[in-house]
């Protein structure tokens, strides 16, 4: 029977499960440590003894480590930005729409050179190879080794980005180079932003993935390592080290996939209540609904594969205040992983939602006598405010007026009441507290193509997009024979000559045998 280990490294807890087929054999929840490897090693130690002689097929890890680095403005490398597009793309330079505090950390050097393509696929100007080489030498002299290259309309023709990367590599052989065409879609600024962010995270990604691999080694687990992505699927660890932005939303995505698996419900809303925030998303055929609009990450506009989520400051560690006039305020600040130190049920000074839940009999944690002074009216008011926040978020995520089921998961799911406006029923699956790790363990491998084709018939363009998606899935670690097409759509581009067609295809399959 196939066995897998799923791990989710959150800001507060690191969860791990051992899955055999459709059964959760063992689950553990340990505190996340400042040293990523230690937390993962402790989680593995909790499930690895249960593995037995059969071993495991794979280990899947989901982490918020990379997106937290952007949001918290830490562990970011200085980036050399190279834009190909002059004279057409001069007015809005790279980093122009970034929050200044984040740009100050990541902005190394900015270079813009002639080249790029127009919307109809024709070159704006030939690539200025001398200017590219000069830019690379300037970045090398400044000690910059993380470089993002973006060219105007590179999804139509990526040749100039590829050639620029070759030139940069000649000047800086060990550079970590990110090409925008590998991550983003048509919009230049949003696509460039994703590439810049990915380049800034390159050293952290290499270190983090190496720490995961070392943790597996120390735990004696001999299995291939995969990292979960924003769409609920996984890629090989070495690819994740190159493209950390693909794991930005893997935490809530894993929870959504885990909720679908644990309940058997494929179309519903999901709320994942953590220690600091809650994430509400929608399941469609068992996978998170993708966002089709611009998504902001750390205040930066991006446009790439991300789930459609609404996050707000309600969690098990959220601080509770009474600012006056009978009002109750929950969050957005939280005691986070310091709950056992700061919450009143453990003798701490801070009143949290966990304290209120213990006083109301919803949660067995700490010493209930320490919160016996919380009267019923106050407890009810706090829980009513939590319900109001949840109802507002559910209403924002719904696409229909009818009531829909809500799957409640996460360590703070005790804050979700059994009845909410707009919700037909609230389902609480077994192992809901570790749904994120379950979602990681069941993840499959995907491949996606989003490309503009010219000179091909509709059938030929769609077949080529599917072929590209299948090849990318295999590169990510999928078994080619197990791949299935799950989504394909085409959009005729009337403003382009030659019957241009934009085709987006996505395939999903099982992990290839080692």
pLDDT tens per residue across span 482-510: 999 988 888 887 766 667 788 889 898 88
Q: Is residue 185 part of a domain?
A: yes
User: From start to end of 101-259, where are the E strands?
Assistant: 107-114, 146-151, 176-179, 225-228, 234-236
Q: Is the pLDDT of residue 317 over 50?
A: yes
What is the overall mean pLDDT for the chain? 88
- Separation between Cα atoms, residue 306 and residue 327, nearest integer Å: 36
Which residue segment(s) compose the domain that 141 sits in?
A: 79-200
- Separation between Cα atoms, residue 171 and residue 114, nearest integer Å: 19
Q: Is residue 481 part of a domain?
A: yes
What φ, ψ does residue 236 adopt, rounded to 5°? -60, 150
Q: Is residue 269 part of a domain?
A: no
Q: Which one of 152, 172, 200 terminates a domain?
A: 200
**Banded model confidence at residue 42, pLDDT cuts 50, 70, 90:** confident
Residue 276 has a pLDDT of 81
Number of structural domains in the chain: 2
Q: Which distant-in-sequence residues (6+ apart) come within 8 Å of 324 by Cβ?
A: none
Highest mean pLDDT range out of 9-18, 32-41, 117-126, 342-351? 342-351
Q: Is residue 147 part of a domain?
A: yes
Find how far residue 21's CA is from the centre of its chain. 25
For residue 22, count other CB atoms closer than 10 A to its CB: 10
Q: Is residue 450 part of a domain?
A: yes
Residue 85 has a pLDDT of 93
Residue 53 has a pLDDT of 45
Q: Is residue 129 part of a domain?
A: yes
Residue 131 has a pLDDT of 97
**Banded model confidence at residue 192, pLDDT cuts 50, 70, 90:** very high
User: What average pLDDT does this structure show over 241-263?
Assistant: 89
User: What average pLDDT does this structure show over 255-272?
Assistant: 92
Q: Which one of 165, 200, 235 terminates a domain?
A: 200
Residue 244, CA distances (Å) to 121, 166, 172, 302, 433 in order: 30, 22, 22, 14, 26
Residue 332 has a pLDDT of 85
Residue listed under structure tokens 């019923």: 376
- Separation between Cα atoms, residue 281 and residue 278, nearest integer Å: 10
Residue 336 has a pLDDT of 77
pLDDT in tens, 424-480: 999 999 888 889 899 988 888 888 887 778 788 889 999 999 999 999 999 888 889
Q: Which one of 200, 216, 243 terminates a domain?
A: 200
Q: Is residue 228 part of a domain?
A: no
Q: Is residue 187 part of a domain?
A: yes
For residue 101, count other CB atoms closer than 10 A to its CB: 10
């Amino acid at each position: 029977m196939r066995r897998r280990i799923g791990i989710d490294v959150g800001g507060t807890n690191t969860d791990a499960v051992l899955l055999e087929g459709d059964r959760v054999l063992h689950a553990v929840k340990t505190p996340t440590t400042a040293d990523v490897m230690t937390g993962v090693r402790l989680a593995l130690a909790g499930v690895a003894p249960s593995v037995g002689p059969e071993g495991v097929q794979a280990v899947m890890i989901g982490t918020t480590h990379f997106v937290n680095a952007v949001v918290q403005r830490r562990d970011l490398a200085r980036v050399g930005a190279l834009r190909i597009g002059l004279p057409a793309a001069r007015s809005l330079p790279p980093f122009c729409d970034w929050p200044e505090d984040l740009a100050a950390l990541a902005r190394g050097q900015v270079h813009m050179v002639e080249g790029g393509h127009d919307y109809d696929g024709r070159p704006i100007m030939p690539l200025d190879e001398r200017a590219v080489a000069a830019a690379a030498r300037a970045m090398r002299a400044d000690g910059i080794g993380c470089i993002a290259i973006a060219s105007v309309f590179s999804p139509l023709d990526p040749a100039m980005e590829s050639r620029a990367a070759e030139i940069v590599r000649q000047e800086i052989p060990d550079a970590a180079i990110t090409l925008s065409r590998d991550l983003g879609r048509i919009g230049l600024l949003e696509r460039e932003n994703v590439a810049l962010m990915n380049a800034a995270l390159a050293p952290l990604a290499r270190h983090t993935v190496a720490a995961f691999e070392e943790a597996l080694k120390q735990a004696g687990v001999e299995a291939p390592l995969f990292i979960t992505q924003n769409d609920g699927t996984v890629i090989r660890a070495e690819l994740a080290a190159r493209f950390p932005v693909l794991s930005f939303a893997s935490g809530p995505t894993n929870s959504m996939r885990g909720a679908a698996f644990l309940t058997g419900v494929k179309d519903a809303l999901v709320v994942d209540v953590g220690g600091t925030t809650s994430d509400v998303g929608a399941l469609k055929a068992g996978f998170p609904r993708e966002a089709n609009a611009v998504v902001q990450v750390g205040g930066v506009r991006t446009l790439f594969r991300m789930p459609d989520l609404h996050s707000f400051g309600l969690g098990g560690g959220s601080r509770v205040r009474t600012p006056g006039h009978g009002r109750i305020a929950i969050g957005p600040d939280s005691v986070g992983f310091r709950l056992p130190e700061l919450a009143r049920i453990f003798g701490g000074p801070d009143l949290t939602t966990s304290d209120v839940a213990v006083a109301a009999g919803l949660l067995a944690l700490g010493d209930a006598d320490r919160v016996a002074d919380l009267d019923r009216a106050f407890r009810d008011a706090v829980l009513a405010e939590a319900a109001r926040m949840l109802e507002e978020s559910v209403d924002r995520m719904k696409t229909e007026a009818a009531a829909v089921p809500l799957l409640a998961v996460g360590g703070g799911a005790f804050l979700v009441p059994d009845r909410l406006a707009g919700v037909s029923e609230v389902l609480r699956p077994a192992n809901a507290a570790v749904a994120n790790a379950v979602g990681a363990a069941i993840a499959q491998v995907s491949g996606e193509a989003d490309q503009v084709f010219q000179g091909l018939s509709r059938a030929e363009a769609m077949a080529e997009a599917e072929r590209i998606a299948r090849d990318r899935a295999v590169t990510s670690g999928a078994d080619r024979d197990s791949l299935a097409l799950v989504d394909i759509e085409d959009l005729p581009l009337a403003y382009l000559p030659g019957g241009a067609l934009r085709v987006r295809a996505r395939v999903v399959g099982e992990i290839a045998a080692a």
